[in-house]
Structure 1
Amino acid sequence: MDKTISEMDNLMKKKQKDIEDNMKTKVTFLKEIEAFRKEINEALDRLEQASVTEVDENCGKMDQELRMELKTIQETLDKLTTCKAEMVSAQRNSSQQFVNMKISENIISDMKKATLRSTNVLKDSMSFERNSEILHFLRNHESLAKKPLLMKHGLYEVQSKKSYNVKLNDDVSTCDIWSSCILDSGDILLADYENKKIKLVDCETYRVRNSLKVSTEPQSVCKISNVEAAVSLYNNTVQFVSTKNKLAPTRSLTFGHFCRGIAVMDGHLAISYLSKAYIYTMNGQYLKTIEKDRFGSNMFHQIRETCSSDNGRTIHMVDDMKDLVTIGRDGNVMWQYSSQEIKDTWGVCTDGNGNVFVSGAVSRNVTQLGSDGAYLGEVVSKAHDLNCPRAISFHRKQRKLFVTDSNELHVFRVQ
């Protein structure tokens, strides 16, 4: 008893010290957060000041040019007024009137050219466009702390399965969900190709809470931020959609090529079409095309769906012949997965812990790959009675795998 009492007494002292150390740690972390926020504020202040200075300089130069042009206009007006008066006074002198008329025509012609140049300069030099990549980067983080990437080792196992009908009363065709993604709220966004709709599925009831009719067939959908998503449409357009409260179209970008898969990689838009992947800024500025590997061979045959990796620096692309190709930010192939276990690859998603899921429409399954591309096995198999699984997405917090199959949204709880 004496020995135990002594041990408990030492344990009490240790726990008391742990409490004190924990309080010190809290103070240290809070100071670090405050200091980090101060650095971020200073960086934003610097960017703001640089933008303000640039606008001041551009508008200042434009103001000088406009004032000089205003002065020129006034001088021209004075010349025209004088010339008109001389024409009136020389009504009986046709030669002098002819000379004054030619002088007036030259003055008017020069003035019109100067006005046209001024308008063009004003249109070309004066512009301000938001750098939305900065806002996108900030919105895509849950806190100022860097989150460690937790690895899930081994194959997920299905614990339960529930199915929900996502066909609406005004849908004219059987649902054909080509793509899906999980929003920060946990709600699921679906791209219904046949019914030309984007559907928002509630994360608790798994019923379609809201839908948006788009101009043509939607093919792929991805989350841009906690309040915005992007949808690739059949007419070479990427439509941005507000996901706050209810679905609403916002801006759109039109490209000179077909748009199939869409994802965000390293803060940029990755848009696939057949055997090519195009990289653009969020404002639609072209950056590069990914097509050939370092040996000059085609990396893809026909890309279907794409998704970004958990760290956002690589991208997974499912191909109708090459199954799954993962590329890095430099455009080089990191690894490729091809197997007889999966046929007619269609959907792809990650679990947030380094694992990748791939659906096979013909093989009627969903396979799991490790972070290095190693095949781990089937998570969903033919035994789960799927007819044609296509779009897949994963809720990392609830550990649920969502698989679309015609009118059905299947919810698999996994462990």
Structure 2
Amino acid sequence: MLCVEESTGMKETSVRIQFAKEIEGLLKEMQLMGNVEFKKISTNLHFPGTKSQLVKTLSNIQPGIENIKLTSVSKFQLPFDIDINICCCLVLPDERVVMANNSNEENGGLHIFDKSGAYLKHVLCTSKPFGLAIINKSDIAVSFYQEKSIKVYDSESFNVKHVLLDGHCVFGLSVESDCLVAAVRNTGIHFINYSSGKILKILPSDIDLLTYVHMIGENTLITDYEKDILYCRNRDGETVWKYSSDAMKGPRNICTDTVGNIVVAAFVSDSIIAISSNGNDSKKLLGVQDGLKNPKAICFSATTSTLLVVSQTGTALKYNLSYS
């Protein structure tokens, strides 16, 4: 929330001028340097009420879900049609796209596309990859629930640099500042310092099939695809709010845009749902009419304002997200 008292842009600035001695002498000899004219111009900008009402008014300027506008950029897909189970995706800072194919067969692993959607390479993994997250601005954290670990890959060579959270059944991943957040089945949500690998905190979870998580500020977003619920919980694990609707059946992966609007991939209802940051309002962004079928993976790149939606079968829809 914008704070008028704390925002540096709202502080007064004092300017003091000390003239050189030569200038001071010149000023004594001059009778008149010029005229200063003050002119008042009326404006339509009006903030009635108290300071707290002003802060509330300013905070409400942020675009809501009703202002979200998606413009199609491209559509692309994997160059094969078998052994596909895409669970997560990423848009890297250089706009390459990474898909995690959670398959045991030879096509399983990581699949890399360039920014235009051209297929670049297949990175074989020793187990089935699931969650993806960008850390250190360029490295990629990949979770493996069968190997029970998170491996950190170099995003250029795709060599494994080190391993985090070894011995845990990890599914979805998210990043907030220097903290990696992991959905660990049968244990809870782990908060990890990804530089040191130290577990900072564990929040127990009552969701039987804990799978996808996403951090937004101090809160954690969690989908329960068995009960068709999106939970927003604080750092103490308390439910701040929860959302469910007929339009959001089988919710899977989650992302947020630059102003805190939440976007969920609804697998069963073949739709992409936008939800306000307080959980009160929702809007269907995409559906079957847009070529959507069983979406699981979704991500938003704040750098390029790109929303990427990938179906379980590897069809990717890339959009520019703006506000009308």
Q: Could you say which structure has the larger radius of gyration? A: 1
Structure 2 CA distance for partners of 1:252 and 1:274, relative to 1, 3 Å: closer
Q: Which residue of 2 aligns with 1:382?
A: 288
Deviation of the 1:413 alpha carbon = 3.4
Instruction: Please show how residues 297-376 of structure 1 align to structure 2 within 5 Å.
Output: 298=206, 300-309=207-216, 311=217, 313-320=218-225, 321-376=227-282
Partner of 1:291: 204
8 Å CA contact 1:265–1:329 kept in 2: the answer is: no
**Gapped regions of structure 1 (runs ≥ 5):** 1-24, 26-147, 293-297
Tell me the residue number matched to 2:139: 228
Checking the alignment, whether the CA contact within 8 Å between 2:170 and 2:185 is kept in structure 1 is: no
**Aligned partners of 1:265 and 1:334: how far apart in 2?**
19
CA deviations 1:92-125 (Å, max 9, x no partner) are xxxxxxxxxxxxxxxxxxxxxxxxxxxxxxxxxx
CA distance in 1, matches of 2:267, 2:154: 30
**Higher RCO (CA < 8 A, seq sep 6+):** 2
Query: Where does residue 70 of structure 2 map in the other structure?
Result: 158
| Matched pairs, number | 256
Deviation at 1:185, TM superposition (A): 2.2
Offset, 1:160 = 2.8
Deviation at 1:266, TM superposition (A): 4.9
> Percent of aligned positions with the same letter in both sequences?
20
Using a 3 Å threshold, how does the CA distance of structure 1 residues 288 and 226 change in structure 2: closer, same or farther?
closer
Q: Is the CA contact 1:149–1:354 (under 8 Å) kept in the aligned structure 2?
A: no
- Greater strand percent: which structure? 2
CA deviations on 1:38-81 (whole Å, 9 max, x unpaired) are: xxxxxxxxxxxxxxxxxxxxxxxxxxxxxxxxxxxxxxxxxxxx
Q: TM-score, normalised by structure 1?
A: 0.56
Residue number among 96, 106, 109 corresponding to 1:187 in the alignment:
96
Q: Partner amino acid for 1:378?
A: K
Q: In structure 2, what is the Cα distance between the partners aligned to 1:274 and 1:259?
A: 6
**Correspondence 1:273-284 to 2 at 5 A:** 273-274=184-185, 276-282=188-194, 283-284=196-197
Could you say what secondary structure the match of 1:181 adopts? strand
Q: Which residue of 2 is the match for residue 71 of structure 1?
A: none
TM-aligned CA deviation for residue 272 of structure 1: 1.1
CA distance in 2, matches of 1:397, 1:199: 21
What root-mean-square deviation, in Å, do the aligned CA atoms of Structure 1 and Structure 2 show?
Answer: 2.6
**Residue 211 (structure 1) shift:** 3.2
Measured in 2, the distance between the counterparts of 1:336 and 1:350 equals: 16
Which ranges in structure 2 are unaligned for 5 or more consecutive residues?
Answer: 1-12, 14-58
Q: Structure 1's 188 and 340: CA in aligned 2 closer, same or farther, altered over 3 A? A: same
TM-score between the two structures when normalised by the length of structure 2: 0.71
| Aligned mates of 1:408, 1:149 — CA distance in 2 | 36
Q: Which has the higher helix share?
A: 1
Q: Does 1:214 align with 2:119?
A: no
1:301 Cα offset (Å):
3.2
Question: What pairs up with 1:2-21 in 2 under 5 angstroms?
Answer: none
Runs of 4+ in 1 over 4 A off after TM superposition: none
Q: Which residue of 1 aligns with 2:181?
A: 270
Q: Alpha carbons of 1:379 and 1:151: their partners in 2 closer, same or farther (altered >3 Å)?
A: same
Secondary structure, aligned partner of 2:289: helix
Distance 1:389 1:279 in 2: 27
